[in-house]
């Protein structure tokens, strides 16, 4: 134990000497949450819309204002020529086109079905499918209102609505996040992501730096075993990462109304377990690499994109192909995110996610064990 503390104290002195690194590790994560928490959103508003109005009637203007007043679309302007419209989309100045045919008003008065065309820039498939949904809903609502309008003198020509038909309505209830705010989904993901990167990069250079500078030989001669050395290297960084993770959680609650429906001790325990695992991953990388450059490369490639894309932070794991779903079991953030969301959003107790905590513990133990083994072999 004394040896672990000695290594820890030495590492701490080294950290304190490099103020920039310390400040980055402690405070930048919370600052990032602030910035990205606002920037990251799936809620789509103000889609830039161009209108091709071939009817220029009261009704066509009503449809356009229905689009604009919904808040989902922002009118860029009217344009008649197809070529000019295509160019606007190519340049990205417009993301959607609403095209209203001639005789729109006349057909509506006669209650004849009319078709309006909506063109959507599909380059971002996710946005495009949401915008498609908005457009459908707006047009359906507009149609329903027009159907209800009675045109004087024309009643006789309107078909009879017919007998009663069964209707099935849905009574939706949404739990945990009733307003479907994407921030409540993304902020826990950001917490996991930022903590993961901070933890991995903090330890990834710690061992290899000694190798590169040649001080490793001195450590080897000292009466410190590989396990004590590894633990001592982790402790100071664990303290820093833990502080910064707790700061992020507080920031999330203060700024983004992230609720806290579960137990605090459980949350802190899960955070600790996750950080130990992430730092163990960093240490393992550090023992494998021979130069800091390689360590840096492996650390980033193994944490930055996988944590973002394979953890369920942004992309739902259940929609991925089976093989890729298998790979996600290697990403510790996957387990942490289940626990984090269950605790803060769902207020669930440990029975709902104990398997994920066990998986995190296994990950941390295996990574620590492998790192110690690597060192032992190198020192032998």
Partner 1 sequence: MGVELGATGAKAAIRRVLHLMRKEVLELKQDPRLFGVVIIAPIMQLAVLGYAATTDVKDVPIAIVDADRSTASRDLIHRFETSANFKIVGMPGSTDEIDRYLDRGEAWMAISIPANFGQAVAANRSATLQVVADGTDSNSTGVAMGYAQTLIAGYTQDLAAAAMPGQPVGALVRPEIRVWFNPRLESRDFMIPGIIALLLLVVTTNLSAMAIVREKEVGTLEQLSVTPLARWELITGKLLPYAAIGIIDVVLVLVVAIYWFEIPMRGSIALLFGMCVIYLMSTLGLGLFVSTISRTQQQAMMTSIFFFLMPMIYLSGFIFPIENMPAWIQPFTYLIPLRYFLVIVRGIFLKGVGLEILWPQALALFAWGATVLALATFRSSKRLG
DSSP 328-373: HTT-HHHHHHHHHHIIIII---GGGTHHHHHHHHHHHHHHHHHHHH
- Cα 351 from Cα 341, distance rounded (Å): 14
Of positions 294, 329, 362, 378, contacts partner 1 by CB under 8 A: 294
Cβ contact 247:30 at 8 Å: yes
Residue 126 is a binding residue for partner 1 (CB under 8 A): yes
Residue 350 is a binding residue for partner 1 (CB under 8 A): no
Of positions 162, 218, 265, 380, contacts partner 1 by CB under 8 A: 162
DSSP-derived letter for residue 36 is H
- Rank residues 3 and 10 by Cβ distance to partner 1 and give the closer one: 10
Torsion sign over Cα 151, 68, 76, 87: negative
Of 3-11, 234-242, 305-313, 368-376, the window that binds partner 1 (rule: CB under 8 A) is 305-313
Q: Which of the residues 103 through 122 are near partner 1 (CB under 8 A)? A: 108, 111, 113-122
Count of alpha carbons within 13 Å of 194, Cβ hemisphere only? 30
Of 50-58, 303-311, 358-366, 370-378, the window that binds partner 1 (rule: CB under 8 A) is 303-311
Each residue 222-261 as x (binds partner 1 by CB under 8 A) or -, in order, gives: ----------------------------------------
In angstroms, what is the minimal distance from the CB of 51 to partner 1? 15
Q: Which of the residues 31 through 60 are near partner 1 (CB under 8 A)? A: 32, 35-36, 38-48
Of positions 9, 84, 102, 147, contacts partner 1 by CB under 8 A: 147
Residue 209 is a binding residue for partner 1 (CB under 8 A): yes
Cβ contact 59:105 at 8 Å: yes
Identify which of 205, 68, 86, 211 has the alpha carbon closest to the alpha carbon of residue 134.
68
- Rank residues 3 and 297 by Cβ distance to partner 1 and give the closer one: 297
- Residue 289 burial (CB < 10 Å; 0-12/13-18/19+)? buried
Each residue 315-334 as x (binds partner 1 by CB under 8 A) or -, in order, gives: xx-xxxx-xx--xx------
Of 177-185, 230-238, 276-284, 364-372, the window that binds partner 1 (rule: CB under 8 A) is 177-185
Cβ contact 350:273 at 8 Å: no
């Amino acid at each position: 134990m004394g040896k672990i503390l000695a290594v820890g104290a030495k590492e701490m002195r080294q950290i304190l000497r490099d103020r920039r690194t310390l400040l980055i590790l402690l405070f930048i994560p919370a600052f990032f949450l602030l910035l990205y928490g606002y920037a990251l959103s799936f809620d789509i508003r103000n889609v830039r819309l161009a209108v091709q109005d071939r009817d220029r009637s009261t009704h066509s203007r009503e449809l356009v204002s229905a689009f604009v007043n919904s808040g989902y679309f922002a009118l860029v302007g009217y344009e008649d020529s197809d070529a000019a419209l295509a160019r606007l989309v190519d340049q990205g100045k417009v993301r959607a086109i609403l095209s209203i045919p001639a005789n729109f008003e006349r057909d509506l008065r006669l209650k004849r079905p009319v078709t309006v065309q909506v063109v959507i820039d599909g380059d971002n498939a996710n946005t495009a499918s949401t915008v498609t949904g908005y457009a459908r809903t707006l047009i359906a609502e507009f149609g329903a209102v027009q159907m209800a309008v009675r045109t004087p003198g024309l009643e006789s020509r309107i078909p009879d609505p017919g007998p009663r038909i069964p209707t099935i309505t849905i009574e939706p209830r949404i739990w945990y996040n009733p307003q479907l705010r994407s921030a409540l989904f993304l902020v826990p993901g950001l917490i996991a992501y930022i903590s993961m990167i901070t933890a991995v990069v903090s330890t990834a250079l710690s061992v290899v730096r000694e190798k590169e500078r040649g001080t490793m030989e001195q450590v080897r001669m000292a009466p410190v075993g590989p396990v004590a050395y590894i633990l001592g290297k982790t402790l100071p960084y664990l303290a820093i990462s833990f502080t910064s993770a707790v700061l992020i959680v507080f920031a999330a609650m203060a700024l983004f109304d992230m609720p806290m429906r579960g137990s605090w001790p459980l949350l802190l325990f899960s955070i600790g377990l996750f950080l130990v695992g992430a730092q163990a991953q960093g240490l393992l990388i550090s023992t494998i690499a021979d130069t800091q450059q390689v360590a840096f490369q492996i650390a980033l490639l193994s944490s930055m994109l996988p944590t973002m894309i394979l953890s369920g932070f942004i992309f739902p794991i259940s929609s991925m192909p089976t093989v890729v779903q298998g790979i996600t079991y290697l990403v510790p953030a996957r387990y942490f995110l289940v626990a984090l969301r269950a605790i803060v959003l769902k207020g669930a107790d440990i029975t709902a996610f104990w398997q994920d905590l066990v998986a995190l513990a296994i990950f941390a133990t295996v990574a620590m064990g492998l790192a110690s083994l690597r060192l032992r072999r190198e020192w032998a």
